[in-house]
Amino acid sequence: MLDEFEARQGKKQRLTAYRAFVLLTARGVDVGYSIVKKLVVEERRRTAEVFVPLTWHKGEAALVDFFEVLIDVEEPLGARVESTIETDGVTLYRVRAALFLMRLPASGIDVVSLYPRQDQVCFLDGHVRAFRQLGGVPSRIGYDNLKPAVKKLVGNGRQLQQRFVALANHYRFEPVFARPYTGHDKGAVEARGKGFRGQYLTPIPRGRTLLDVAADLVLDLDEHQQDEVRHLQPLPAVDFIGLRPMNVRNIRTPKGCEFDARRHVVASVSSRTFRSTVSPAPSPSTSPVPMSTSSPAPLPSTSSAATGRA
């Protein structure tokens, strides 16, 4: 019966043990509910996806994602306004902002920025600021198939956005991607994004701008986290130049971001800095990233049951 109903099920409308019991008795099958329940549980266990515990090496991997957050500000600066609030004669705008989060799972370092939206300009700028704050670059970075990085899926591979490829080659890191619709492939950053909202952004913070709110999100690195910073790849001599001078006039930057025409780097409305003066140790460079990639499902990590990278 489970095989028979497989094509008629959805992710949230699956055949339960009780429903299977009712259908079986309606067909005249003489069976008890406890037997049906045991069979269904065993079938679910047999066909369930297997997860292997992962071990993260220092400086090897980072995970990146965007998260929607609500912030109360006096100046929305291009962010989407959800509602307005009057308090002590001041009008506050509740905006739906974008939280850029880069997490180094080996030691739990979190680097965040707040942006008015989740576009490619803010996505690239989040990397530039995160690397600058860390003082180094991880060897591999894991993503889901978000549009600022992946232009389109091609079979089991991906055609990457041109500017994202330029970013990866400039900082010499390897991008690795999760399987479509499987957020648990990078569960460390998914869980941390939700936890960060509850830990630092609840109740909803207030400030004049997103920059003022982000200024309060300053943490110190402990000794364990500073040790991972030493294992990161060194930064290149200059920051990523994502926008060429000849294209400056044709590029529309989102409100709330300032374009620095001298260095051709977008400066966002936020940053989360770490008070650390640790210098990263030298590391061999990563080979250039091709425009198309068919990265396998596992994200930057190594299996605890195997040697070498996963």
73 in the same domain as 203: yes
Q: What is the pLDDT of residue 222?
A: 76
First CA to last CA distance, the chain: 37
At 148, list the tokens: 């600022």
182 in the same domain as 199: yes
CATH (domain of 253)? 3.30.420.10
Cα gap 180→169, rounded to integer Å: 24
Out of 47, 62, 79, a domain closes at 47
171 located within any domain: yes
308 located within any domain: no
32 in the same domain as 69: no
74 located within any domain: yes
226 located within any domain: yes
Specify the long-range contacts of residues 147-154, CB closer than 8 Å, at least 24 apart.
147/120, 148/118, 148/119, 148/120, 148/123, 148/124, 149/123, 149/175, 149/177, 150/177, 153/180, 154/292
38 in the same domain as 187: no
238 in the same domain as 216: yes
189 in the same domain as 61: yes
160 located within any domain: yes
Domain count, the chain: 2
> pLDDT tier at 293 (50, 70, 90 boundaries)?
low
198 located within any domain: yes
116 in the same domain as 20: no
Q: What is the pLDDT of residue 7?
A: 79
Inter-residue contact 121 to 257 (CB < 8 Å): yes
21 in the same domain as 116: no
40 in the same domain as 86: no
296 in the same domain as 255: yes
Q: What is the mean pLDDT of residues 200-222?
A: 82
Across 85-94, 150-159, 277-286, least confident range: 277-286
309 located within any domain: no
Q: What is the pLDDT of residues 19-39, one digit of tens each?
A: 999 999 999 999 999 999 999
43 in the same domain as 66: no
175 in the same domain as 130: yes
40 has a pLDDT exceeding 70: yes
For 43, the domain range is 2-47
Check: pTM over 0.85? Answer yes or no: no
Of 62-66, 207-211, 236-240, 274-278, where does the model show the most confidence? 62-66
